[in-house]
Amino acid sequence: MTSRFARAAAAGAALALSAGAFAACSSEPETTPDDVITIFAPQDGAQGQDLEDNAFTKLLEEKFDVDLQFETTTWDGTAAAEKRQISLASGDYPDAYMLIPWVDQFSSDELVKLGGQGVIVPLDDLIGEDTPNLTAAFEKEPGFKELATSPDGKIWGIPAWNDCYHCSYPSKLWMNSAWLDTLGLEQPTTPEELRTVLEAFKTQDPNGNGEADEIPLSAAGGSSLLSYLMNPYVYTAEMYANAEGVTPATLGTAGDEVVLQPTRDEWREGIAYVASLYEDGLIDEGAFTQNGEALNAKGNSAEGVILGSVAVMHPWFVTSDHEDGRYTQYDAVPPLTGPNGSDATYSGGGAGAAPGATFVITNRSSEAKQQKLMQILDYMVSYEGHLQGEYGIEGVNWDRPAEGDVALDETLEPNFKVISVPSGETLKNSWGPIAQFFSDAEFRNSQVTATDIYSPEGYERRLFEATKLYEGHESDELFPYWEVAVTGETATELATIQTNVENFAVQAAAEFVTGVRDIESDEDWAEFQQNLVDLGSERYVEIYQEAWDASK
């Protein structure tokens, strides 16, 4: 039994004497007194987090004269989504939900539905003079307010705005510079130059052990590899999957028209190129199927350095504890230039942010509680509240900058630095990503970061500098799906089609690359097109076309 329920019952002890108090739950929500606010939130015990007994919780309780009680779930997306749905369906839900967007959050569709049912309350009238920090954040980043505004024009909840610069350009290629030096080669700039480099990695023993054990190009899961290699031919976004579903990565645009990229001849040409690399043995056989753990094992192989290049967001596949210094060897290769130019995959809207909300207030909350909850939210949007909410206690978890410290973005004044603590204690004093409502570029990039990009302490700077190689390569064909919301019955219809089409496109692409399907065969190509149609691809494009038109 959750402590929230237990305490709420205790608080209403007089009522609890009557068995009816419990039976009444479903029709007439029991609520706690105004000075007790109940919150549903994910909690990560592995990082030492106990929201009931947490330094930031105590700070808020004192500052806002309130007792915060939690109903917790885990950081596992599927389990968290399920528990949230159960709590809503039971009728025994708390005053508010505070979630982590990449674990589980309310979708636009859910917000409109729950708002219409009166389960969650509109925040529009609660935002204003009483929430100066949120109001200022909306003015500073109009995209944040747009993200918070539902398709019906109301603000039913607050999403997290997380302007992660390096995540905005997720499809990067990390190549071993030491190997290039050994072989007297430069970083490739075109698809054919890449082939030449990969062939040299494969045949010229760059790790010098006399064995042909080199893996020229690897990846984990197929999507990042495809988007980096395909972009010189046709704009290709990277597919992400989370508890809410998959991103519409197959979609591109031609002017005002939404286009399914895998129907295009340019897509076929791109796949033919990737397939030719695979046929030449230049791509790791596991690239499309192996998970992160398997890639990690190759990157950190005890036999020595065997990875020539890896298509992933950042070089997490090597650890810093190897004596051979492999941790320092991988550098990002800028987008390759091909017939389509030199596009880079771009993910906008605060990088991975999706329409919807991480914070909502329910109809269980009295007006006094609603106001208090908005004050608490507003404090977490403020600079000081954000620092303490996300990181914890000053002097223990973070510090003010010292003389000589440099911000991640060197053009900004350094504002804070995070202090390393054992991994089992990282969230002992903070709410972590729950409090990350407004991580705009200025906040994130004013963090003190070591200037040696090849030291573990300078890792974020290495990613920051690598990303500059990709910035400015946004495609004319990009479909800004994060600005497009689909609601109502259409959303239900879309969810199934989207999952089917997107998963199939990645699977079929891998099959074309590995030779299960023949990209040169017109018959196989026609079959692939028919498969897409059978999965609802035409309706898929139609739904997004209508929603995109409506969003303009």
CA neighbor of 121 nearest in space, from 361, 357, 355? 361
Q: Which stretch binds Ca ion (CB under 5 A): 156-164, 197-205, 316-324, 371-379?
A: 197-205
Three-state DSSP class for residue 216? coil
Nearest to Ca ion of 152, 205 (CB atom): 205
How close are the terminal C-alpha atoms of the chain, in Å?
47
Please state the closest distance from residue 156 (CB atom) to Ca ion, in A.
58
Q: How far apart are CA 297 and CA 403, in angstroms?
A: 40
Q: Which stretch binds Ca ion (CB under 5 A): 103-111, 201-209, 261-269, 410-418?
A: 201-209
Contacts with Ca ion by CB under 5 A: the residue count is 5
Three-state DSSP class for residue 73? strand
303 is a site residue for Ca ion (CB under 5 A): no
Please state the closest distance from residue 304 (CB atom) to Ca ion, in A.
8
Whether the Cβ atoms of residue 273 and residue 229 lie closer than 8 Å to each other = yes
Please state the closest distance from residue 173 (CB atom) to Ca ion, in A.
21
Q: How far apart are CA 295 and CA 10, in angstroms?
A: 51
Q: Which stretch binds Ca ion (CB under 5 A): 76-84, 202-210, 236-244, 462-470?
A: 202-210
DSSP 8-state assignment for residue 337: P
Strand-pair category, 106-107 with 161-162: unpaired
205 is a site residue for Ca ion (CB under 5 A): yes
Contact pick of 211, 280, 410, 549 for Ca ion (by CB under 5 A): 211
Contact pick of 209, 320, 507, 530 for Ca ion (by CB under 5 A): 209
Contact pick of 124, 213, 324, 471 for Ca ion (by CB under 5 A): 213
Name 104's bridge partners.
100
Q: How far apart are CA 90 and CA 315, in angstroms?
A: 44
Q: Which stretch binds Ca ion (CB under 5 A): 8-16, 206-214, 318-326, 361-369?
A: 206-214
81-120: which residues touch Ca ion (CB under 5 A)?
none
Number of DSSP helices (H) and strands (E) in the chain, helices first: 20, 17
Nearest to Ca ion of 205, 399 (CB atom): 205
Q: Which stretch binds Ca ion (CB under 5 A): 61-69, 199-207, 224-232, 453-461?
A: 199-207
Nearest to Ca ion of 197, 435 (CB atom): 197
Please state the closest distance from residue 228 (CB atom) to Ca ion, in A.
24
Nearest to Ca ion of 72, 207 (CB atom): 207
Q: How far apart are CA 170 and CA 226, in angstroms?
A: 12
Please state the closest distance from residue 299 (CB atom) to Ca ion, in A.
16
* Torsion over CA: 159, 444, 220, 317 (sign): negative
203 is a site residue for Ca ion (CB under 5 A): no
Q: Which stretch binds Ca ion (CB under 5 A): 123-131, 146-154, 198-206, 225-233?
A: 198-206
Nearest to Ca ion of 90, 209 (CB atom): 209
Nearest to Ca ion of 44, 214 (CB atom): 214
How much is the CA Rg of the chain, to the nearest whole Å? 25
Contact pick of 207, 224, 236, 537 for Ca ion (by CB under 5 A): 207
Three-state DSSP class for residue 380? helix
Residue 435 CA: distances (Å) to CA of 97, 161, 338, 501: 12, 11, 43, 35
Residue 447 CA: distances (Å) to CA of 129, 238, 341, 412, 480: 29, 28, 35, 9, 29
**Residues of the shown chain interacting with Ca ion in the complex, contacts defined by CB under 5 A:** 205, 207, 209, 211, 213
